[in-house]
Structure 1
């Protein structure tokens, strides 16, 4: 009850993310050589068995289930198959001729295979097929086609300007607070040294991707990788810094508040080990962290390796909160992490950047 389409689009519905529930995808018997899957009606019945993790609008938690339901809404509203709808309304009008769903029966020239690094060697990974991910994933594309999508978003070819601005406005909680992530409708929203960013990452078995749109600079960084579970955000910003000097990562800075840095390092170390002190976080973050998505996010970060360094990179003030950025080491590799901290010291957001 009381769940709206906007809740689904902004990942604030509270519906549990079926993909993040351990063992849930075992109902799909899929491998490189074979597949078995339940019909949609049966899958929807399984969705209804999932408990709500929070009340609609109480916080944000990424939810593939919600986007699966949105695809069904598109089909019911348009009277068309979801993939046909995308082809008619987006792909064909924009000339995105290489973009389609991931059905392996299609012959696609130069189609990449997906891999994952396991036990010091690469292993093949099966494609996430349309009958599994449906409208929550399963799109096959190229950088060239994604550039056409990016260009269209500077115009009103697909959406009215007011719709675009709504897409790129962070959704607040029902109480008007910062949600656990700044997310509009289908896009993460950020600000990097005064430069507005809308972005999204994606990951399926064997593949990782990211699109970062630096709106004020009319610059898009698109990275498609056939390597699973990679953190690509830092690469997008590093590449942007090559083209726009103002976006270049700052060099070493003197830490103005080493005590806060030590506190946040301890917070992150605990999260990487599956622990946290709720008293340190805002109410939306306290709700988010125990969700399957919240736990899964930190398991994914921990998958990159042990925390080996945590160095101050910069601070930006923004009204009732401030943003602290750190260069960290995970498994010996460099990444960047941002904390949004309220003036009362409570942590409102933590995200890779």
Structure 2
């Protein structure tokens, strides 16, 4: 008996030593990376004018969280890791968990009409069921007039919250159109209440927050004293101002919670167990929904679910007055990241992408520059096979199919559209086929191919062999597979790519191996980087290569920062360096055009906008919505004249698009408000100005 006790204590002692040693090893592994990241955060917050930010992550057993800046600028209250932010739309995944819990308990049928649980909600032209609402496919509209619906100042209960949109017609038949909708999630919150027979917040507390020890998560209430609540801010004409007061009870299930990043990480960790939801339900929640026409939406139930670099990955963002939030999970890596800050509208992803780059030793994006739209289409197709195929294998540890007939059909589809001759003969037709390749509309041909390639590579090269591809990307993935199957005795010609495509892959991989090295893989471009020195080094490295890493997005972000700050010299230095590296990049041309707009050279701006459209009129960077976004960025920074000039050019380029006209009207309306207010300041009894201002607000 005594010996048994001794053995027990010795075993326990050595186990503790082992765990401690492992933790210390992880701490040492991440300490330098965290120091690098902390410096980046401090610099980037200054650029973004963010008052306060909290961020944290866990990887396996290692946990880190920290606050930066101020929770309250006026009182200089520092942000902490347990500062409490409005979660906004990061509430939606919690709604999905609640619905799926109730499904497991037999209290909710996902395919039942919502009136079973919310009898007072009016019936519509088409039945509205629970399942499509979870994926924003239920036909329920989003906000119609945010200036009214998004600025409600009084408390609303569940029924009053639903009355805002209850009488609206559906915008489409369910399952036919993806329309992100906060109102759909409010309706789901009412479903939770109807099925559980208790208030929404009480249900979440008892069934999600308490089981996962999320002790600092609540329904937000402006009248209650909530510990560590941060104040929210916004930028008006480039200056930090207090956020407008609103009561968010009217968006209770769509975005009505308040929490900390520590609690968000507890939530993410809890979803790796079966403490609050079964493995099967979690898999369902993370599965992309499919439109009636056979296209994935990349949105599951409360989560955005596209893979990244061939890794299984889910996330959601949140944004509303006072706040921006982000929660990211890589379930198979035992990794999650949570981020929140108290400024409306700033870019979340610049912080998360940098942290992920440091932790995983790989870039967030492995974008490839080819210089022509034919090869851009081929690269996109290869990336689609790699990302969605390897992502499927990473998630399910098996190929989508091993059926010879299905694989042969998938290869035939691939070879038909993935060749230069086809793309030259009818570019739009075959680009559409390439973009459809991963979707059920094309029988998921590209996912079948990519997951089968992953299976074969793993069987041939060992269990951990696939990890390298998250660091080398699609070109290396294809090249290794081609080399493998050419060596394989008796490999069926049914599963071979075309000879012309194989030659392209071989040449591109020779270039990619040289240009995508440790330097370019670890490169992090920021406004504090010496872009001139970096660009010279990249120019030399890329010389003679048919393909090389595309950092146009990074140069674009830096250029935009400089022109919003009014630094003309650095703006044009950065924009022109990007164009030298990527002369046929639509983005590089657009950013130079934006720079000319910023500094009053409209004719030159128009020249480069037109050039970008000629390069590829279907590229997202020359879309009306993207150009309009850049104009609104200028407006947000207080550059109203410049924003107006850009919008007028957009109208000239796209006269039949409504969006830029609306944005122009918004600027004139903003100016009108300003001058009516000035009139009232001069003469508070001036009724004409008061009436006009009241009418605008209505």
- Provide TM-score, normalisation by structure 2: 0.37
After superposition, the Cα gap between the structure-2 partners of 1:145 and 1:104, relative to the gap in structure 1 and judged at 3 Å, is same
The answer to whether the Cα contact below 8 Å between 1:192 and 1:247 also exists between their aligned partners in 2 is: no
Distance 1:67 1:220 in 2: 24
Distance 1:47 1:226 in 2: 29
1:218 aligns to 2:367 (yes or no):
no
The answer to whether the Cα contact below 8 Å between 1:169 and 1:183 also exists between their aligned partners in 2 is: yes
1:195 aligns to 2:421 (yes or no):
no
1:49 aligns to 2:149 (yes or no):
no
CA RMSD across the alignment: 3.7
Match of 1:144 among 241, 245, 262: 262
User: C-alpha displacement at 1:66, in angstroms?
Assistant: 0.6
After superposition, the Cα gap between the structure-2 partners of 1:66 and 1:118, relative to the gap in structure 1 and judged at 3 Å, is same
The answer to whether the Cα contact below 8 Å between 1:281 and 1:346 also exists between their aligned partners in 2 is: no
Aligned runs of 1:121-270 on 2, under 5 Å?
A: 121-126=239-244, 128-179=246-297, 182-250=298-366, 253-255=368-370, 257-258=372-373
Structure 1 match to 2:592: none
User: C-alpha displacement at 1:106, in angstroms?
Assistant: 2.1
User: C-alpha displacement at 1:196, in angstroms?
Assistant: 1.4
User: C-alpha displacement at 1:4, in angstroms?
Assistant: 1.2
Structure 2 match to 1:332: 560
1:12 aligns to 2:137 (yes or no):
yes
Structure with the larger RCO, 1 or 2 (CA within 8 Å, 6+ apart) = 1
SS of the residue corresponding to residue 61 of structure 1 reads: coil
The answer to whether the Cα contact below 8 Å between 2:135 and 2:299 also exists between their aligned partners in 1 is: yes
The answer to whether the Cα contact below 8 Å between 1:315 and 1:325 also exists between their aligned partners in 2 is: no
After superposition, the Cα gap between the structure-2 partners of 1:9 and 1:128, relative to the gap in structure 1 and judged at 3 Å, is farther
Distance 1:10 1:191 in 2: 17
Distance 2:270 2:319 in 1: 24
After superposition, the Cα gap between the structure-2 partners of 1:7 and 1:120, relative to the gap in structure 1 and judged at 3 Å, is same
The answer to whether the Cα contact below 8 Å between 1:143 and 1:224 also exists between their aligned partners in 2 is: yes
Distance 2:552 2:195 in 1: 45
The answer to whether the Cα contact below 8 Å between 2:308 and 2:364 also exists between their aligned partners in 1 is: no
Distance 1:178 1:55 in 2: 17
After superposition, the Cα gap between the structure-2 partners of 1:135 and 1:20, relative to the gap in structure 1 and judged at 3 Å, is same
SS of the residue corresponding to residue 164 of structure 1 reads: helix
After superposition, the Cα gap between the structure-2 partners of 1:23 and 1:52, relative to the gap in structure 1 and judged at 3 Å, is farther
User: C-alpha displacement at 1:166, in angstroms?
Assistant: 0.7
User: C-alpha displacement at 1:219, in angstroms?
Assistant: 1.3
1:99 aligns to 2:204 (yes or no):
no
SS of the residue corresponding to residue 165 of structure 2 reads: helix
SS of the residue corresponding to residue 253 of structure 2 reads: helix
Distance 2:233 2:376 in 1: 36
Structure 2 match to 1:33: none
Distance 1:29 1:5 in 2: 27
The answer to whether the Cα contact below 8 Å between 2:152 and 2:247 also exists between their aligned partners in 1 is: no
1:70 aligns to 2:70 (yes or no):
no
The answer to whether the Cα contact below 8 Å between 1:281 and 1:347 also exists between their aligned partners in 2 is: no
After superposition, the Cα gap between the structure-2 partners of 1:135 and 1:326, relative to the gap in structure 1 and judged at 3 Å, is farther
SS of the residue corresponding to residue 222 of structure 2 reads: coil
SS of the residue corresponding to residue 301 of structure 2 reads: coil
Distance 2:209 2:245 in 1: 21
* Runs of at least 5 residues in structure 1 that lack an aligned partner in the other structure: 31-35, 263-278, 286-313, 319-323, 338-344
User: C-alpha displacement at 1:112, in angstroms?
Assistant: 0.5
After superposition, the Cα gap between the structure-2 partners of 1:347 and 1:249, relative to the gap in structure 1 and judged at 3 Å, is closer
After superposition, the Cα gap between the structure-2 partners of 1:101 and 1:39, relative to the gap in structure 1 and judged at 3 Å, is closer
Match of 1:85 among 196, 200, 203: 203
User: C-alpha displacement at 1:29, in angstroms?
Assistant: 4.7
After superposition, the Cα gap between the structure-2 partners of 1:150 and 1:43, relative to the gap in structure 1 and judged at 3 Å, is closer
Distance 1:188 1:128 in 2: 27
User: C-alpha displacement at 1:120, in angstroms?
Assistant: 2.0
The answer to whether the Cα contact below 8 Å between 1:198 and 1:214 also exists between their aligned partners in 2 is: yes
User: C-alpha displacement at 1:172, in angstroms?
Assistant: 0.7
Greater helix proportion: 2
Q: CA offsets per residue over residues 81-135 of structure 1, 9 Å max, x none?
A: 1111111111111111111011022222321001001112111114653422111
After superposition, the Cα gap between the structure-2 partners of 1:123 and 1:102, relative to the gap in structure 1 and judged at 3 Å, is same
User: C-alpha displacement at 1:152, in angstroms?
Assistant: 0.5
Distance 2:364 2:146 in 1: 39
- Provide TM-score, normalisation by structure 1: 0.70
* Runs of at least 5 residues in structure 2 that lack an aligned partner in the other structure: 1-125, 378-428, 437-472, 479-549, 563-586, 588-616, 627-698
